[in-house]
Amino acid sequence: MAKTGRQSFQQMLRLPDDMRDQLKAAADANNRSMNAEIIARLAESFESNARLVAAEHEVEKLHRDLAYQTGMKDSLREGLQVFISHVSKAEKGSHISMDAIMDEISKTPANRE
């Protein structure tokens, strides 16, 4: 690569004829030189890649959040089942303290994790 005076590099590039024609048509349509079109397209590919990586991280975060929320839902469902069970027993005359109920809820599988 030869270094030019503008802090850039020159590089010989071989393109298939049809790709060169596409590049020329795109450059003309965008009122750019072929060099500027190549630079713009390379820059866009790097920016697209960065956006893709950011989107992948966001999807991973959403999956973690969903897993947490699913765990919370399971925990609430199990705790509610224990509570309903004790309300049903209380209606039949059984007595249990709220502390005992909360202790039992904390021991359900979803709440132990």
pLDDT tens sequence across 3-24: 555 677 888 889 999 999 999 9
Please compute the mean of the pLDDT values over residues 41-45 and round it to a whole number: 92
Who's near 83: CB < 8 A, 6+ residues apart?
101, 105
Question: Does the model's pTM come out above 0.85?
Answer: no
Domain extent at residue 108: 2-112
Q: Which is nearest to 22 in space by CA: 34, 40, 7?
A: 34
Task: Give the total number of structural domains in the chain.
Answer: 1
pLDDT at residue 112, rounded to an integer? 59
